[in-house]
Amino acid sequence: MTDNKKIQISDLNVFAGKFQILKNINIELPENKITVILGPSGCGKTTLLKCMNRLTDLYPELRVTGDIRISGNNILAAKEDIYKLRQHMGLLSQRPYPLPMTIYNNIAYGLKLRGVKKRREIHKLVVHYLQQANLWEEVKHRLREPASRLSIGQQQRLCLARGLAVNPGIILADEPTSALDPISSQYIEQKFLELKNEYTIVLVTHVLRQARRIADYVVFMYLGEVIEQGDVHEVFENPKMEKTKLYLGGTFN
């Protein structure tokens, strides 16, 4: 059962026409840990995340080969139930995209998709997930207001609550704090540290200090390839590859 939080990626390749975005990716993401994916812009981090919840299906120009296994199932297989799969993978994107509805319904939307039908149950869970994302106190008086009226930092926490509401086992976060102020970023970081007891977290970030603060496991990518991966201390204190050293040293172009 705990196995369904472990992600094994083997020989993953992604092509866009002749251009190869991801090249022979082999990683094993440990469960209930925070795995940080590092790498310069354009190296394919977002694409890697999108493979994991099959959002790549949305782009007919992308061709994906290889295996991504969660509890033994290859989720790239055609017969995989992608709706179940996506609910198993909470997504937090670079900028918050609140759904065009009220704050309350932003959470209820996912709950209904998950199959919660009773109104009282929905209400209870909405409150629960807003509390989980440290948002409840700020919005409890304005649940029926449009979500777009919240500040960006609040919106990102709403997106986190919304993602948690579908009851995922894994959280995919693509630079979730890059649009946020330091305080809101800290909120999210703190939350991740709490959440990793229950979830496996995959985090893409450009902030090396953030990676150092919260990562357990680090994957360094460059031009679509995984250059180095390992325990956070290992990679940060004793990088084996020249490129990793340069990147972590900040002297990368």
Q: How far is CA 139 from the centre of its chain?
A: 24
156 binds ligand ATP (CB under 6 A): no
Which amino acid is present at 123?
H
Q: How many residues bind ligand ATP (CB under 6 A)?
A: 13
Q: Which is nearer to Mg ion, 168 or 176 (CB)?
A: 176
Chain residues 218-237 in contact with Mg ion, contact rule CB under 5 A: none
Q: Which is nearer to Mg ion, 104 or 174 (CB)?
A: 174
Q: Is the separation of the CB atoms in 178 and 189 below 8 Å?
A: no
Q: Is the separation of the CB atoms in 76 and 66 below 8 Å?
A: yes
Min separation Cβ 172 and other proteins, Å: 8
56 binds Mg ion (CB under 5 A): no
Min separation Cβ 195 and Mg ion, Å: 21
Site string for Mg ion, 34-53 (x = CB under 5 A): ------------x-------
157 binds other proteins (CB under 8 A): no
Q: How many residues bind other proteins (CB under 8 A)?
A: 29
Q: How far apart are CA 58 and CA 124, in angstroms?
A: 33
Q: How far apart are CA 202 and CA 190, in angstroms?
A: 15
Residue whose C-alpha is closest to residue 223's, from 19, 2, 17:
19
Chain residues 61-100 in contact with ligand ATP, contact rule CB under 6 A: 61-62
- What's the DSSP call for residue 192? H
What's the CA angle centered on 86, arms 52 and 190, to 5 degrees? 80
- Positions that interact with ligand ATP (CB under 6 A): 16, 21, 39, 41-47, 59, 61-62
